[in-house]
Structure 1
Amino acid sequence: MKKISFLLLVAATAILSSCNYQKNNSIKQADLHEGDERIYGDGPDAPARQLAKQYEATPEDIARAAALRVKIYGE
């Protein structure tokens, strides 16, 4: 009985001590790309302009991707 009550005490202590775990698990640091339109686009919540660049797929690229898909996943 003494052993069970000790284990319950240890478990309760562990549970209660983990309540504030994520509050101290952060770091404040300066944003190196603040205001960079290439990274942030029109604003911090806007999609990046560098993602807007699209490339045309050549037939060689399509064939290579298909060959890799067969090699990884099989027929």
Structure 2
Amino acid sequence: MKRLGFLFLLAGVVALSSCDYQKNNTIKQKDVNAGSERIYGDGPDAPARQLKQQYEASPEDAARPTAIKEKLYGN
């Protein structure tokens, strides 16, 4: 019975000591993208305003998936 109580006590100590395990496991680094509107948009808490690639649609773009569907599933 003493062993069981000791195991519970030991488990409690381990559980309570692991609460702040990652608190001091950090490193302070300079943000190399600070002030970049492409990354941060209007501010650090604003959504990203990254540039999107725009492609012009061509008739072949619509025909190719249709041909693949016909080949896979038939008419």
Aligning the two structures, in what range does the TM-score lie when normalised by the shorter sequence? 0.5 to 0.7
Larger fraction in helix: 1
Shift of 1:14: 0.6
**SS of corresponding position for 1:26:** coil
Q: Which runs of 5+ in 1 are unaligned?
A: 68-75
For 1:1-75, what aligned pairs fall within 5 Å after superposition?
1-50=1-50, 53=52, 55=54, 58-59=61-62, 60=64, 63=65
- Name the larger-Rg structure: 2
| Matched positions, count | 62
- Indicate the percent of aligned positions where both proteins have the same amino acid: 60
3-state DSSP of counterpart to 1:49: coil
Counterpart AA for 1:40: Y
> For structure 2, which runs of at least 5 residues remain unmatched after alignment?
70-75
Q: Deviations over 1:11-53 (max 9, x none)?
A: 0111120122232232211101001111112211222221x52
